[in-house]
Chains A and B, each alone.
Chain A
Amino acid sequence: MALVLNEEQQMLKESAEGFLAEFAPLGELRKQRDAGSQTGYADNLWRQMADMGWAAILVPEEYGGLEFGHVGMGQIVEQTGRTLTASPLFATAVLGVTAINTAGSEAQKTELLGAIASGEITTALAVDEKIHHAPTQISMTADKQGGGYVLNGAKRFVADGSKADKLIVAARTAGEAGNMNGISLFVVDRTASGVEVERTEMTDTRNYANISFNNVEVAEAALLGEEGKGFKALNATLDAGNIYLAAELLGIAQETFDVTLQYLKERKQFGVLIGSFQALQHRAAHWWSEVELCKSVVLKALQAMDEGDKKSSALASIAKAKLCEVAELATNEAIQMHGGIGMTDEYDIGFFIKRARSAQIMFGDNSYHTDRFALLSGY
């Protein structure tokens, strides 16, 4: 497939750009933060997004979705990186849909995907238990008892975890930490008895939680996919997650670049525009070149998911590793080239570096994905 957007994808990108600029510009994030918002996003914004069909983009038509594909959804997520728009788009419409669509039974898909598509419910994916992403290291347990399971353990850094209606939880029904076998996925109500949610105040002011499960009893119907064989679906969901995080980071890298380039053309020192200094020109040109590489790999990874390409795991790691590197470069250069003003809270650049680092860390940073890429390549 040619590495260009088709007309429909281009239109979706432009409409996302227009919508987010009008209803969810960066100022909204500042407002949420200054108001000490406990939800991290505005409910009515999510309502509007769902009304436009954004929650339904990845949902198959037979379950009430639009089935518009990853390349299209990727354009929206990339735009949310430019505006730093917080919403359940990632945790629900990407992660929730992918996990349920990959692993779920017919009944689960009918019930849950339809409700997600219409914006009725939100989800959160609870995977990590330690400070570093390590999906095979899951030690939370799910013991078969009576007609269902009893869950015990603790999860951290769960995006939207303090607010989502349903938690998709990875727990161990067999084996021990380090094994891929024995991991099972469960859909658990956030308000179920024994679920203890602690909202965490994070640097990017988004909505994360640490969640403990103390003898949480769930029915057998809560099992998503086959018992003990959940890793494959979890892996596919994490691959998708990482590709979308890369798309968001691409938006951040581009927006910080555009804003900084503008500043280089406005700011005068020594009587001239600072953009006339070759020391800054070369750094800007290098940064621009890196962003060009990022555009290519993100688009390729999104296309690979749409095509069901077997290489999409490797591409997910390539894209995430590269985007972690370039987002780090972009946000650091943005502050440095802005000078003192870039250090002030009043100026927006600081929001980008805060969000970028969270997105980088989520589901594995540069080092994690460089290592994973090498392993997938046989070394």
Chain B
Amino acid sequence: MSDLQAFRQQTRDWLEENCPPSMREPVKGGESMCWGGRNFTFESKEQQQWMERMGAKGWTAPDWPTEYGGGGLNKAEHKILREEMSRLNARSPLDSFGIWMIGPALLKFGSEALKQQHLPPIVRGEIRWCQGYSEPGAGSDLAGLQSKGEDRGDHFIANGQKVWTSYGDKADWMFCLLRTDSEAKKQMGISLVLFDMLTPGVTPKPIKLISGSSPFCETFLDDVRVEKDQVVGEVNQGWTIAKYLLTHEREMIGGMGMTDAGAETLSQTAVRVMGVEQGRMNNPILRAEVAKWEIDGACFGLTAERVTDEVKAGSGVGATSAMLKYYGTELNKRRFETLLKIQGSDGMVWDGEAANNGWLPRTWLRTKGNSIEGGTSEVQLNVIAKNILGLG
């Protein structure tokens, strides 16, 4: 038996033994995802067990080095783990901005001390992170951010306001962009710093969205003390790391692309609701809309696949994350517009058990943010035009 075959067998046995039955059922929307952290309320005992068992093995961050608590798996092993998990329909044990964003940035740019301090608790799901990037006056023009970090020798005193902090009211630590040199050119005077959300002067306030939910906060910073040893990379060199993280975020949003719409495809919903006569769905205009969406959806899925294959083969052109983000989010918005047409007046029901607590209108409204967050569609088109097409 080859090493990889042995690894597969061990992995399969371990998962069979350790993945609790209820963690082999699909997640029911964002509510039942496991985010971890100091204040997290687990959906069940089993959810907590699953996170802790996987965290102890480092398999919540399978490809991170073992010295920082990660799984230390190579690409082939990581793939096997993914395959074996999906064989069991195992849920992701831990979803976190620590794993998706600040962790990779620390691995690439962080000091040894920062890695030792922050990575292991991320892997174990003990600390939940949030991102302090956008500000009321700095959205698409992120580099125009104004929150200041005033140099006080061994620390900074931070003042300002952040906005669109995902789950800011539930997070334990923030990675945050501050202007630490107001004399320097826009992109040059920015630092990426880390601080505990319990630090005096940090006040997150949830923002209610048109969808009725409040996944984002505005976060006020009033004389917040930030230690200098919590600067990632060099002081005033944070923009490079910020851009790296933005690319990462773009890939995440573009890759997830499609909001989970349950078990049905668009055409299955359409057929169930509209009915079929003589082989064709009723309402020819809607039928064409559904078919055109499914054609574009198939082409987009194949493109995500091709981009991944090209990267593996070393022939990728790169910089395609902007295209995937742009196209994926626009497609997702289109899908929900079509779903809404299919559901007619039912699609407007905001509450009540019968209407799945207004899942459709709320999710439809939430998708409007897909082409804004992580860089608007227009910003993605700018990136494509400038970086790929060379249009100045």
Instruction: Say which one of B81-89, B122-130, B223-231, B295-303 lies at the interface with A.
Output: B295-303
Q: Quote the shortest CB–CB distance from B253 to chain A (angstroms).
A: 16
Residue contact A3 to B320, C-beta cutoff 8 Å: no
Q: B290, B305, B382, B389 — which one has the most chain A CB atoms within 10 A of its CB?
A: B389
Q: How far is the CA of A2 from the CA of B389 in the complex (A)?
A: 26
Residue contact A3 to B392, C-beta cutoff 8 Å: no
Which chain A residues border B389 with CB–CB below 8 Å? 261, 281, 284-285, 288
Residues from 256 to 289 in B contacting A, C-beta threshold 8 Å: 267, 270-271, 276, 279-281, 287-288
Residue contact B291 to A281, C-beta cutoff 8 Å: no
Selected contact of A273 from candidates B267, B281, B327, B392, CB within 8 Å: B392
Instruction: Say which one of A102-110, A296-304, A349-357 lies at the interface with B.
Output: A296-304
**B390 located at the interface, meaning its Cβ lies under 8 Å from any Cβ of chain A in the complex:** yes
Which chain A residues border B378 with CB–CB below 8 Å? 282
Selected contact of A281 from candidates B276, B290, B292, B391, CB within 8 Å: B391
Residue contact B381 to A379, C-beta cutoff 8 Å: no
Residues from 327 to 352 in B contacting A, C-beta threshold 8 Å: 327
Which chain B residues border A321 with CB–CB below 8 Å? 292, 295
**B133 located at the interface, meaning its Cβ lies under 8 Å from any Cβ of chain A in the complex:** no
Which chain A residues border B382 with CB–CB below 8 Å? 278, 281-282, 285
Which chain B residues border A296 with CB–CB below 8 Å? 299, 302-303, 305-306
Residue contact B381 to A286, C-beta cutoff 8 Å: yes
Which chain B residues border A377 with CB–CB below 8 Å? 267, 291, 294
- Interface majority SS (helix, strand, loop, mixed), chain A: helix
**B355 located at the interface, meaning its Cβ lies under 8 Å from any Cβ of chain A in the complex:** no
**A264 located at the interface, meaning its Cβ lies under 8 Å from any Cβ of chain B in the complex:** yes
Q: How far is the CA of A359 from the CA of B313 in the complex (A)?
A: 33
**B309 located at the interface, meaning its Cβ lies under 8 Å from any Cβ of chain A in the complex:** yes
Residue contact B384 to A293, C-beta cutoff 8 Å: no
Q: How far is the CA of A208 from the CA of B292 in the complex (A)?
A: 31
Given A293-B296, A296-B306, decide whether A371 and B291 contact each other with a Cβ distance below 8 A.
yes
**B209 located at the interface, meaning its Cβ lies under 8 Å from any Cβ of chain A in the complex:** no
**A24 located at the interface, meaning its Cβ lies under 8 Å from any Cβ of chain B in the complex:** no
**A118 located at the interface, meaning its Cβ lies under 8 Å from any Cβ of chain B in the complex:** no
Residue contact B309 to A293, C-beta cutoff 8 Å: no
Residue contact B381 to A285, C-beta cutoff 8 Å: yes
- Interface majority SS (helix, strand, loop, mixed), chain B: helix
Q: How far is the CA of A286 from the CA of B378 in the complex (A)?
A: 10
**A192 located at the interface, meaning its Cβ lies under 8 Å from any Cβ of chain B in the complex:** no
**B59 located at the interface, meaning its Cβ lies under 8 Å from any Cβ of chain A in the complex:** no
Given A2-B309, A3-B305, A295-B306, decide whether A265 and B391 contact each other with a Cβ distance below 8 A.
yes
Q: A282, A288, A289, A321 — which one has the most chain B CB atoms within 10 A of its CB?
A: A289
Is the interface on chain A under 10, 10 to 19, 20 to 34, or 35 or more residues?
A: 35 or more
A-B contact pairs, 12 of them (CB 8 A): A275-B392, A282-B378, A285-B326, A285-B389, A296-B299, A296-B303, A297-B302, A370-B295, A373-B295, A374-B288, A379-B271, A379-B281
Residue contact B390 to A265, C-beta cutoff 8 Å: yes
Residues from 198 to 219 in B contacting A, C-beta threshold 8 Å: none
Residue contact B385 to A285, C-beta cutoff 8 Å: yes
Selected contact of B296 from candidates A280, A299, A322, CB within 8 Å: A322
Residue contact A276 to B392, C-beta cutoff 8 Å: yes
Annotate A361-379 by CB proximity to B: 1 below 8 A, 0 otherwise.
0000001001101110111
Selected contact of A292 from candidates B287, B312, B320, B391, CB within 8 Å: B320
**B4 located at the interface, meaning its Cβ lies under 8 Å from any Cβ of chain A in the complex:** no
**B310 located at the interface, meaning its Cβ lies under 8 Å from any Cβ of chain A in the complex:** yes
Q: Quote the shortest CB–CB distance from A50 to chain B (angstroms).
A: 31
Residue contact B381 to A282, C-beta cutoff 8 Å: yes
**A93 located at the interface, meaning its Cβ lies under 8 Å from any Cβ of chain B in the complex:** no
Which chain B residues border A371 with CB–CB below 8 Å? 288, 291
Which chain B residues border A261 with CB–CB below 8 Å? 389, 391
Residue contact A289 to B299, C-beta cutoff 8 Å: no
Q: B310, B320, B392 — which one has the most chain A CB atoms within 10 A of its CB?
A: B392
**B356 located at the interface, meaning its Cβ lies under 8 Å from any Cβ of chain A in the complex:** no
Q: Quote the shortest CB–CB distance from B298 to chain A (angstroms).
A: 5
**A249 located at the interface, meaning its Cβ lies under 8 Å from any Cβ of chain B in the complex:** no
Q: How far is the CA of A276 from the CA of B386 in the complex (A)?
A: 10
Residue contact A4 to B315, C-beta cutoff 8 Å: yes
**A294 located at the interface, meaning its Cβ lies under 8 Å from any Cβ of chain B in the complex:** yes
Selected contact of A4 from candidates B267, B291, B295, B306, CB within 8 Å: B306
Given A285-B384, A374-B281, decide whether A293 and B303 contact each other with a Cβ distance below 8 A.
yes
Q: How far is the CA of A4 from the CA of B317 in the complex (A)?
A: 13
Q: Quote the shortest CB–CB distance from B199 to chain A (angstroms).
A: 41
**B157 located at the interface, meaning its Cβ lies under 8 Å from any Cβ of chain A in the complex:** no
Residue contact A276 to B391, C-beta cutoff 8 Å: yes
In the complex, which residue of chain B has the Cβ closest to the Cβ of A264? B391
Residue contact A374 to B391, C-beta cutoff 8 Å: no
Annotate A78-121 by CB proximity to B: 1 below 8 A, 0 otherwise.
00000000000000000000000000000000000000000000
**A233 located at the interface, meaning its Cβ lies under 8 Å from any Cβ of chain B in the complex:** no
Residue contact A379 to B302, C-beta cutoff 8 Å: no
**B184 located at the interface, meaning its Cβ lies under 8 Å from any Cβ of chain A in the complex:** no
Which chain B residues border A280 with CB–CB below 8 Å? 391
Q: How far is the CA of A367 from the CA of B285 in the complex (A)?
A: 12
Selected contact of B276 from candidates A282, A285, A379, CB within 8 Å: A379
Q: Quote the shortest CB–CB distance from B227 to chain A (angstroms).
A: 42
Which chain B residues border A294 with CB–CB below 8 Å? 299
Selected contact of B291 from candidates A285, A288, A293, A370, CB within 8 Å: A370
Q: B271, B276, B303 — which one has the most chain A CB atoms within 10 A of its CB?
A: B303
Which chain B residues border A288 with CB–CB below 8 Å? 323, 384, 388-389
Residue contact B280 to A375, C-beta cutoff 8 Å: yes
Residue contact A374 to B315, C-beta cutoff 8 Å: no
Residue contact B306 to A374, C-beta cutoff 8 Å: no
Q: How far is the CA of A278 from the CA of B271 in the complex (A)?
A: 41
Residue contact A374 to B309, C-beta cutoff 8 Å: no
Q: How far is the CA of A196 from the CA of B267 in the complex (A)?
A: 46
Residue contact B305 to A374, C-beta cutoff 8 Å: no
Q: How far is the CA of A275 from the CA of B392 in the complex (A)?
A: 7
**A318 located at the interface, meaning its Cβ lies under 8 Å from any Cβ of chain B in the complex:** yes
Residue contact B299 to A297, C-beta cutoff 8 Å: yes
Closest 4 CB pairs of A and B: A281-B385, A285-B384, A3-B306, A296-B302
Selected contact of B295 from candidates A2, A282, A284, A318, CB within 8 Å: A318
Q: How far is the CA of A152 from the CA of B326 in the complex (A)?
A: 54
Which chain B residues border A289 with CB–CB below 8 Å? 323, 326-327, 384
Q: Quote the shortest CB–CB distance from A78 to chain B (angstroms).
A: 15
Q: Quote the shortest CB–CB distance from A223 to chain B (angstroms).
A: 31
Q: How far is the CA of A367 from the CA of B306 in the complex (A)?
A: 27
Q: Quote the shortest CB–CB distance from B353 to chain A (angstroms).
A: 29
Annotate B34-65 by CB proximity to A: 1 below 8 A, 0 otherwise.
00000000000000000000000000000000
